[in-house]
Chains A and B, each alone.
Chain A
Amino acid sequence: MATTSNTPKYTFKDFHSGQQVRWCPGCGDIAILRAVQTAFAKMGIPKEKFVVVSGIGCSSRFPYYMATYGIHSIHGRAGALATGIKLANPDLSVWQVTGDGDALAIGGNHFIHEIRRNIDVNILLFNNKIYGLTKGQYSPTTPKGFKTKTSPYGTIEDPFNPGELAIGSGATFFARSIYSNMNLSVDILLEAQKHKGTSVVEFLQTCVIFNKNAYDYLTKGPDKENNFIIVKHGEPMIFGKNKDMGLILDENSNIKVVKIGENGITEKDILVHDAHRPDPILHYQLAALQHPVVFGVIRSVRKETYDEALYRQIEEVKQASKYHSLEELLNSGNTWEVK
């Protein structure tokens, strides 16, 4: 990415497209849009280098509201689009906005392969656990048993956890935020931009019309802070409204919630978060944890990206090649003259 000292100084307003935002009042997407615009302004990247792409769904309207290059494409395919753009021009900062249906149902194949290849793009997965744009059918992240228009008696299928799927697909970066926490979201977006490779950022996001209470336990009530933890690389994983709960590994290497001061547990016993460890098992466990829900950068590991490998290989092959022009190729092999 070309970032130069003479990159203009931006504010979030520089990334407003001027298009009227058509999400429902109170929609979690609006807060995430603001976080993205704020983060983009801080990245030191010239505006024309950003490309924001999406598939179909409420969240996929996102590019229209950004004053950058962008494509609002077709359902599920944003990952393939982002891949083509990044491979064609690695100098671009490519952002893919998608939802739980777009990325994990119709676009599941592209999602896992994009991550497996480690294409240097940033995937923002807005997870409201419902289909909003088509007005309230269940999605691949809807909790089992949940009643929706297409599951009037409750769903009979287990949901995906996007973090498990991403890390299982070989993700080098996975982070989670929630629409209501602007500062955390901005911090994570900045980390995602810095990460070379596919960055998957899951945003828990409320659909105010069809699934408005989905995240109440994380955003409302006096005890909400007991229900989530924000992890930071190098810091012990402590949480709770009294900062007296922590995560340890039990004798079976499962993550366990403990209370500091009980059963002889002290702060020293609490696991220190290591986002950079290559082994994904603990990151997978953190991403899978239901209680508390883990926010923050869970995994961030450097590995050669597909785009780096592609251009490296092209250079290597060119150096070693017999042909240096099309002319030479056309005239190669068995040829003969007709007089």
Chain B
Amino acid sequence: MTMAEAVPAALGPGVDRVDGRPKVLGAAHYPSDVTLPGMAHAALVRSTIAAGSIVRLDTARAADMLGVLTVITHENAGRLQKGKRNLFFPPPAAPLQDARISYHGQYVAVIVAETRQQAAAAARLIEVTYDRDEPVLTLDDAAASSQSNPYFIDMKRGDAKAAMATAEVTVEGTFTTSPETHNPLGPFTTVAQWHGDTLTVYDSTQNPFHVRAVLAASFGLAEDDVRVLSPYVGGGFGAGLRSWPHTILAALAARVVARPVQLSLTRPEMFTGVGHRPSTMQRLTIAATRDGKLVAIDHEGTSTASMGHEAPTRKPPTRKAPLQSLLKAPDEQPYPITAGTAAAYACPNVAARDKRVRLNIAPIAHMRAPGEAEGNFAIESLLDELSYELGMDPIDLRLRNYAEVQPQTGLPWSSKALRECYTVGAERFGWAQRDPTVGAMRDGRWLVGYGMAGVTFNHYQAKCHARATVHRDGTAHVCSGATDIGTGTYTVMTQLAAEVLGLPVDRVEFELGDTRLPQAPQAGGSGLTTALGSAVHNTCVALVQRVLTLVSDDADSPLRGCTIEDVVAHQGRLQHADDESRGETYSEILGRHGLSELTVDGDSAPSRAEAGVIVGSLVVSRLGRFGRKLVGASHATVPAGGFGARFVEVRVDPELGVLRIARIVSVNDAGRVVNEKLARSQIIGGTVGGIGMAIFEETVRDPDSGRVANATLSDYLIPVNADVPDIDVVFVGGPDPANPIGVKGVGEIGLVGVAAAIANGVYHATGRRIRSLPITIDKLL
């Protein structure tokens, strides 16, 4: 049985979201829609200092307010255990355990009341007296402790320093990006309910099994005694990948008042409570020959992270062994910026290093293309500078250094259509019409700039489980405990199951968002479609196999003795591939065997090459040419993530500093596109996020207090419709052989490269090289 023989009607551009109708009808219940009998409401009090400790908490007035059930502070919260160590998704410090404050916005009290309004009103009456320490709030604060190689994935090949020394052309620059806040539309909400010692939680999360693990650890429960439900999540952008203190506090509050409790974050709380994209600073040098051959890249990236509750504030930098500090200061998420640098171009000498600086700021979180977006901005901006230095077209420069094989390991890619991204994009955009002279293109008062950037995105796949059932009525039910954060997981998985089972899409129901279902990884890293889609595919294949086993010696079945290679599935029917008249329906088979249904469990796992690429890259880093020989002897293939090219036309009013984006062409190699409409939506959404990163988004902190100064959707700017031009999304390339469904993730790649392409367009229009995001009016005046 092969894909080509399966039902094409299940795939293609025209399949609407299966969750569209319930969402439009209001029948899709997000966590904030969950109402349970007897449910109380919680509100939070946040610290108004960034470092120090609580001296006194006066809760009397709040406790006396109408409707207030309880006030929980560190003085009465009781002990909560910290979640198990997790390198990717470090659990939060257990909330309300002591008087120490390590960031502005840290929770200091929870009020539970009959209504949300009562809880919020009472929260304003809590008076907190602090003993304030001087906080460490910026990268350049001398008191900030900086950690080198914090994630152990610094990479090098060749000798970048030596190559720089003799290079014909060198360009360098310092690039900065601002902290950003995810701001999914749906405020994160937890509804918690206890039944004895078992806990049920409805939560806004992209990672329900992680939430389950953290809650179980917090309250000393077995994981099976915690159930996390998240069938609908109002967006995430990465904010839902970690577990957050408010989720623990909702469960704590529910236990204290012995009633279900709903806790819904306010928009300002969303700016400190569910992570943010950290600010970064990058120093980058690129050296090349006169004819445009790259000879060396030296890239150092520094990102900020929360001080962490375990670490005392204002601690002098320590020289602890990095491994120890990584494992012992585990409450921040790794945030490498230069991790993709070694894989981007065929350059013989590369050094890529990361640093982390810990500050008195709220915890960070991965946000759509974390690190990739920032690293790409620096690399693709500086390559543009190099193209001007060389007098070479920026596309030609990139093609001149095209990485035919994965450049760090020397191993072949599983697939790569980046060349097509450039050529197709240039054609559709009309790149040939570009006059490369700075400031040469005008439209009335507007200076016109064309900018482009290339993208090489990392591959990611995690282990995933699924379950598939075919019913006697000819319908199927497929499930896995993943989440659909609005990306289309429900729809795509329904399609993939329907494809294998040979059922119309409306005969397949896909269920997700419940930790009682088979375990799935987070909706993150652009890896869920690959992991879950492969699991669904494998499980459905196993189900067909199971059906064939049922009839393997069934004299009444025309499929007797058939193996899976012999059959195709079509319209609810299994039939011989070479004679469609010889077959029967699922209903007929199950009916004859007296079965109401047939269920199988299945899974998918990343290939060994997944981890092998990282290991191989590090081996080359450490052992140089010898390492490359070792890695080459593995004859492995590098599973490729997506590739892309961005083409942007900007308009700049030079007198007023006003920058507008006129049009964007986004070309992506996304492997096999299962649902073009949804994939296109993902790329468009990513592009809009890229516009935000490039010209609007910045979480501003007060320099003295560390308070987020623009924590509303009126003050924190994201693009509105009027800022978003026509976005031409094109897919190139074909199915990727690294996974059975041929896909590559599209959740993040759309964002990557947009900022650099815009900045490069601004330079082309104005001659001003802006290396600091966002590019606002004041920078262009």
Query: Do these two chains interact?
Result: no
Query: Which residues of B come within 8 Å of A, CB atoms?
Result: none
